[in-house]
Amino acid sequence: MRQLSAGAAALALALRGRAQPAAAAGPAPKKLGIALCGLGGYATGQLAPALKLTENVELRGVITGSRAKGQQWAQAFGFPEKSIYGYDTMARLADNKDIDIVYVVTPNALHPEHTIAAAWAGKHVISEKPMATSVADCNAMLTACRLNKVKLSIGYRLQFEPNFRELKRLARDGDFGAFMTMSGGLSFTMTKPQWRAEKKLAGGGPLMDLGIYALQAACMAAGGDAPVAITARELPKKRPEFFRDVEETIEWTMEFANGAKGTFSTSYNGGLDRFRAEGTRGWIEFAPAFQYGGLKVATSKGPLNLAVPPSQQAGQIDDFARCIREDLESPVSGAMGRRDMVIIDAIYKSAAQGGRRIEVTV
C-alpha cells in the first residue's frame, strides 16, 4: 500500500499545475487516442504532463505489469479500466478502437517486443530512444510496422525543440557556413543501481542513454547526414563493480563526407551537458544542451532567446498525430532510429578494437 500511495502521489505531482491548451476557434478535429506502454519515471514525470497539453492526442489506455498502477492512471486520465492491458495481453489492443497509438517506454531491450506487438494489433507506434539495442531488432520493428501498414516514430523530443530547430535551419540555410567542427556530450553521475547499467536490458551504458543526444545533434548540424566513419575509445572504469558489463565513459569522433568532424563523450561518472558547432562564418553553442527545458544557447551573433513551449514531448507527440492524419512519414522515423543504431554499433566496434577507424554505412 505504501508503494501504491507513492505512485499515486508521483502521478498527481507530475500533473499538478499543468494548464490545458486553449480551445481553438471552430470545431477541433477528434483527438487520437494513445496508450503508454510502461509506466516508469519518464512516463510519469514527462509524458503524463505532456499528454495534458497535447492538442491532437489524449491518453486512453496503458500497458503495465501492475494492475494497481494502471488503475491510478485510469482515474487520473478518465479512461475506462477495460483499457488497462498487461504486456502479455497487448494483442487485445486490436479490439480497442479508442486507441490509435502506442508509446513504448519500456527498457531499451524490450522496445522491439512491444513495438512489434503494438504493430500487429494495428496501432501506430512511438518507440522511446534508443530504438532498440541492435540493428537486427530495428529491422524487425520496421518490418512489423510495414507489414501492418502502421507508422513508426522514435522519441527524439529535441528534434521539435525551437533551439534545435534553429540549429537545423542554420545547417540548411548556411548562415554560419557549413558546420565543420562539433563537440560536446552529456554525462551525469549514476549513484544507484538501475536497469540502465545492465547490458541485458539497456544494451549498453551511457552511449545508449545519453550519448545518443550528442549523436543526434551532430547529425542535425551536418544537415541531416550520417557520418561516414567513426573512431572511439572506452576509458578505464573508476567504478568497475558498479558498471560490470557496460561502459562507464566512452569518447568518439564522427567524420562526415564534407570533411566535418565532431568529438564527443558521455559518461555515468561525470558532469557534462554541452553541444557546440563551429561554421566557416560563425558558431552556435548549447549549454545546457539536452535537458527537458531551460536550454541556454549562444551564437557568434548573440544569444538565442526563442520562445519555447512548456513541453518538448507534447510537440513531439502532436507532430506524430499530424503525420498519421496526413499520411506522412514522421520526421523522426524508424529509419532515423535505425541509422542511429548503426552509428552506435560503429562506436562500440571501434572502441572494442582499440580505436580502429570504422566506416559507417546506413
Boundary residue ending a domain (105, 126, 157):
157
Handedness of CA 31, 34, 39, 40 (dihedral sign): negative
Same-domain status, 202 and 115: no
Same-domain status, 74 and 168: no
Residue 150 is part of which domain span?
A: 2-157
Q: How many folded domains does the chain comprise?
A: 2
Same-domain status, 131 and 64: yes
H-run or E-run covering 183: strand 179-187
Same-domain status, 93 and 192: no
Same-domain status, 126 and 265: no
CATH number at residue 196: 3.30.360.10
Residue 17 lies in a domain: yes
pLDDT of residue 20: 45
Same-domain status, 260 and 281: yes
Same-domain status, 24 and 88: yes
Those residues with Cβ within 8 angstroms of residue 349's Cβ, 6 or more apart along the chain or in another chain: 230, 358
Hey, what amino acid is at 79? F
pTM, whole model, 2 decimals? Answer: 0.93
Residue 52 lies in a domain: yes
Boundary residue ending a domain (105, 140, 157):
157
Same-domain status, 149 and 167: no
Residue 320 lies in a domain: no
The secondary structure of residue 144, as a DSSP letter, is H
Same-domain status, 243 and 135: no
Same-domain status, 217 and 142: no
- Determine how many CB atoms are found less than 10 A away from the CB of residue 228: 14
Those residues with Cβ within 8 angstroms of residue 172's Cβ, 6 or more apart along the chain or in another chain: 223
* Alpha carbons 250 and 352: distance in angstroms, whole number: 11
Same-domain status, 93 and 166: no
Residue 319 lies in a domain: no
Spans of the chain, pLDDT less than 70 = 1-28
pLDDT of residue 22: 44
Nearest to 156 by CA among 165, 147, 169, 148: 165
* Alpha carbons 43 and 102: distance in angstroms, whole number: 12
Boundary residue ending a domain (142, 157, 172):
157
Quick one: cell of 351?
A: 572502441
Any idea which residue has 565532431 for its cell?
A: 262
Any idea which residue has 499538478 for its cell?
A: 16
Residue 81 CA: distances (Å) to CA of 63, 154, 241, 310: 11, 28, 43, 30
Residue 325 lies in a domain: no
What is the per-residue pLDDT across 164-184, written as a single tens digit (0 to 9) for each? Answer: 999 999 999 999 999 999 999
pLDDT of residue 18: 45
Same-domain status, 196 and 232: yes
Nearest to 96 by CA among 122, 73, 120: 122
Residue 83 lies in a domain: yes
For residues 74 and 52, is the Cβ–Cβ distance under 8 A?
A: no
pLDDT of residue 17: 47
Residue 148 lies in a domain: yes
pLDDT of residue 29: 76
Residue 77 lies in a domain: yes
